[in-house]
Amino acid sequence: MKSFCQSCVLCLILAVGGTSVAQSPECDVNHEKFVNGGVAKAKMSMPNNGNPCVFSFKFEGSFDPDEWKVLDPPKHGKLETGGSTVKYLPEPGYIGADEFVVEIYGRDPLKRRNASRKNGSFAFQVDVRGKP
pLDDT for residue 42 is more than 80: yes
Element (H, E) at 2: helix 2-7
Q: pLDDT tens across 65-123, in order?
A: 888 789 999 999 998 876 677 788 999 999 999 999 988 888 766 666 666 677 888 89
First to last CA, the chain: 22
Please answer whether residues 81 and 73 qualify as being in contact, where contact means their C-beta atoms are separated by less than 8 angstroms. Answer: no
Element (H, E) at 6: helix 2-7
> Whole domain around residue 51: which residue ranges?
2-129
Average pLDDT score, the chain? 74
The domain tally of the chain equals 1
CATH number of the structural domain spanning residue 106: 2.60.40
Q: How far apart are CA 116 and CA 128, in angstroms?
A: 38
Residue 61 pLDDT:
72
